[in-house]
Amino acid sequence: MQHAGAAMHTGIAILLFVCAAFFAACCLLVVAPVYLELRNLNIPPGVANPGKLRMIHCVYVGISVVGQILGRLGLCHQINFIRCCRCFIMASKKPVSPGLRIKDLIFSGVPVRVYEPKTASGEKKRGLVYFHGGGWMFGCIDDYDEVCQYISLESDTIVVSVGYRLAPEHRYPAHLDDCEVVTRHFLSTAATDFEVDPHRVAVGGDSAGANLAAALCQRLSKTPDCHLPSPCAQVLIYPALQMADFHLPSYQQNHSVPILFRGRAAFYFLQYLNGNTSVSQQILEGKHVPVELKLRFKKWLDPDNLPPQFRKGARSPQVIPSHDRDVYHIIKQGLDPEISPLLAEDDVIRLAPPTFILTCEFDVLRDDGILFRKRLKDAGVEVTWEHLSDGFHGIISFFNQGWLTFQSSQRGMDSIVRYIRTL
């Protein structure tokens, strides 16, 4: 009996030891990558709340690592785990403002959420079709609930938030097609179903969503519908606008600034395009664009087109005398304006509607927005530009998120609302 009791205690001790060892190993698997990421971080002086940004980045890296572990164990897919965690962190948990009416609907097979101010007015309201960010892979309607509620309430605008399809389950042009059918549906029903003036409907979004908004405006300008008006404006919040040059000054200066690293920007473009991320390094090295195309794009992507203050400390990229034909074949479609709107021809650029562009100083995509502004202005398009001097990529997502909130996110949101009020 004593031997049996001793054996049981020994077995329990061994089990506890194994569990503790397993837990420690799991912690080590998570902590080690987070520590390495911290060592690679480069948060320059001037970034808003650097400690908070560092902590948020660690949380995101930890979520990604845990998702990878769970994926390898066959418990769940890494992408789905990251999406659930992001939604848990970012989705609004506050009660709906009494000044809004919110409906979840389906427009032409695409889920949307419509935010309607309850205020009565003598004229039809303005509208905004909003495409969320997230690298074409992440983000959802719930993640942007606070952003859309604020825009709708403060600007007295009916906002349609679009739940378009995501990579890796879907590739280009699925995302853009969803945005198009929703926009056309809303334009066709705005007056009758929502008391919105269809001539006062804008499109907009942040990051990948801003890419979709810019590409959509160009697509609609090339295929006009005589029965529907074109968007009256495009609202582009730190837009991703080209995958031809990852050596622009903002890519050099902010290559390791959260939340979007230089390497991840290329990764997200490739996920959207076709999912072949094996060529990421060649793209970052500039081996994916033929010399004749580089010469053609230079007039639009030349760093000399940027204001001097944005070129400080940037090095001229190494001259690549030739390109990798196999890589070019893989990414060729990514240089099309539907994925890289900044590379559209002048006759398309000049058809763009009045534009609002928000850029952040510490963002790899900063120069995309500034160069697009120059192209639009040179073509005679009216442009309003807001620059957050202490902002980083994704800062709008942290608007009104409790302890996650950054002061700059409020300034950015207020600038967006001010512009929308003018439409």
Active-site residues: which are they?
A: 207, 363, 393
DSSP 350-407: TTPPPEEEEEEEE-TTHHHHHHHHHHHHHTT--EEEEEEEEEETTGGGGTT-GGG--H
Contact 43, 257 (CB under 8 A): yes
- Position 269: which residue type? F
Asked if residue 396 has a cis previous peptide bond (ω within 30° of 0), the answer is no
**Long-range residue pairs from 36-41, CB within 8 A, at least 24 positions apart, any chain:** 37/61, 40/256, 41/256, 41/257, 41/258
Burial of 27 (0-12, 13-18, 19+ CB in 10 A): exposed
Burial of 198 (0-12, 13-18, 19+ CB in 10 A): buried
- Position 109: which residue type? G
Strands 157-162, 110-117: pairing is: antiparallel
- Look at phi and psi of residue 178 and say left if phi exceeds 0, alpha if psi is from -120 to 50, else beta: alpha
Q: What angle, rounded to 10 degrees, do the helices at 208-222 and 174-194 form?
A: 70
Contact 413, 399 (CB under 8 A): yes
Residue of 223, 175, 229 whose CA lies nearest to 348: 223
**Other C-beta atoms lying within 10 Å of the C-beta of residue 100:** 17
Sheet containing strand 383-392, strands side by side: 100-107, 110-117, 157-162, 125-131, 196-206, 234-237, 355-362, 383-392
**Other C-beta atoms lying within 10 Å of the C-beta of residue 291:** 12
CB-based contacts of 76, cutoff 8 Å, min separation 6: 67, 70
